[in-house]
Amino acid sequence: YSGPDADDWAQGATFTGVILNNGDPNPVFVPPGLYERDEHWAGNSQDSTSFDGGSNVNNDDISPMGDPWTVTTGSGPQKNDLTDLYANARVFDSGGDHIWIILGAMTRTANGNSHVDFEWNIAGFENVLEVPAFSADRAADSYIVGLGPHAGRTANVDFIISADFTNGGSTVETHVRQWQWLVDHYEYVDITDTLPAGSFFICADDSELGAPVPPWGAIAPDGTPVDYPGNATPYQFAEIAVDLTAFGINPWDLCTTESTIMFKTRSSQEFTAELKDFGLYPFPIVSTPRCVLNGPGRMCEDEWPGSVELCGPETPNGLDYKYVWFGPAWADSFVTTSPDSCVTISDIADTGLYSLIVRDLTSGCWAGPCDYRLIV
């Protein structure tokens, strides 16, 4: 919280922050930001989103036929315990339309030493109870499976941003890595040195007081709540901002409703060190529509009401959709725009297969075709 005149996670009484005062994402921003509080393992508490043992590392092939990560209910060192997690994506006009992702994480560390990864995957990760090709050999509470086509991820798109705080937090290293093919396998390749100046930033709270907590509060190093208007402990909170356009991701590659963001901690500064705690959530970077086409259902001729409506998805607040329709009622395509997400079919002779493509004019992303068969 930086005061009412700054763009920040929280904005107090102005209600213009990325997150509203009750902790919910502000619907003004599309796609919305993300705030989640992960379970903590302070005292005798246990965290159900903990990695199981030392065999889970960043470069694993976690496809269903590979080596999915194993999950257990457990605990670990204070520095590895995630609490409050944040994500937001924006398009800024400076130097052209650049897509930025802004991420934040709090741990219960009180000495500044922590190792946090932020991993975004376009096809998404999934936490499942069983992996048929794998579960019999490695029993666990659940499994993290990557749904991408290249060893569970998507090559040249998926990325990890790592933040390593050492020497009590006085030394900070940030690395940006992209999933790539190397000779005979996939792994995360460090592309930090290839990025132009000003394309990523990191901010760690090293003040004597600690960062002011937002209206929804925070968690202290001992696991007790910190209520607003209190302060977190120094070094608990870190933020990262990265210009995704600067490292060559095609904006169209970000058009998905399946992507996830995963917050992870590692046991040490080594990128392939043992993974400890995690939070996994759906997170689209750009607004992408879903294509659904609904109609009146099957009817007899004597039930024909004179006209019927076929409807696509309604346009969310703040966006503009273009609807492109195909079907027997038109010789070619028929176009409507927000807020007209429905079309009227007035002639009983125009029954048959109808299709719809939906485009978000704000992001350029599209979905479809989706179909509906009008039967009379």
Say whether 45 sits in a helix, a strand or coil.
coil
- The angle formed by the CA atoms of residues 33, 39 and 44, to the nearest 5 degrees, is 165
Dist CA 161 CA 194 (whole Å): 14
Mean pLDDT, to the nearest integer, of 342-351? 94
Using CB atoms within 10 A of its CB, is residue 179 exposed (0-12), middle (13-18) or buried (19+)?
A: buried
Structure confidence at residue 47 (pLDDT)? 94
Lowest mean pLDDT among 275-284, 350-359, 360-369: 360-369
Six token digits for residue 92: 């800024």
Domain with CATH 2.60.40.10 in the chain: 301-374
Residue 98 has pLDDT above 70, yes or no: yes
Q: Please give the pLDDT value at position 130.
A: 86
Say if CB 163 and CB 148 are below 8 A apart: no
Instruction: Convert the pLDDT of each residue in 47-77 to its tens digit.
Output: 999 999 778 999 999 999 999 999 999 998 8
Average pLDDT rounded to a whole number, residues 133-151: 86
Helix (H) or strand (E) holding 226: strand 225-226
Residue 287 CB contacts under 8 Å (≥ 6 apart), including other chains: 30, 31, 316, 319, 360, 362, 363, 365
Question: What 3-state class would DSSP assign to 80?
Answer: helix
The 3-state DSSP composition of the chain as helix, strand, coil percent (nearest 5) reads 5, 40, 50
Report phi then psi at 264, rounded to 5.
Answer: -140, 150
pLDDT value at 3 more than 60: no
- Distance between CA atoms of 22 and 34, rounded to whole angstroms? 13
pLDDT, tens only, 6-32: 568 887 555 568 898 888 988 878 788
| The pLDDT value given to residue 48 | 94
Residue 46: CA count within 13 A, CB half-sphere: 7
**Cα dihedral: 54, 55, 58, 61 (round 10):** -170
- Bin 95: left if φ > 0, else alpha if -120 < ψ < 50, else beta: left
pLDDT at residue 333 is higher than 80: yes
For 329, the token pair is 């009622």
Residue 99 CA from chain centroid, whole number = 14
Asked if pLDDT for residue 360 goes beyond 70, the answer is yes
Identity of the amino acid at 261: I
Q: What is the mean pLDDT of residues 105-116?
A: 83
d(CA 228, CA 165): 26
Can you tell me whether residue 252 is helix, strand or coil? helix
CATH 2.60.40.10 fits 301-374, yes or no: yes
Residue 220 backbone phi and psi in degrees, to 5: -75, 165
* 131 has a pLDDT exceeding 90: no
- Tell me which amino acid residue 159 is: F
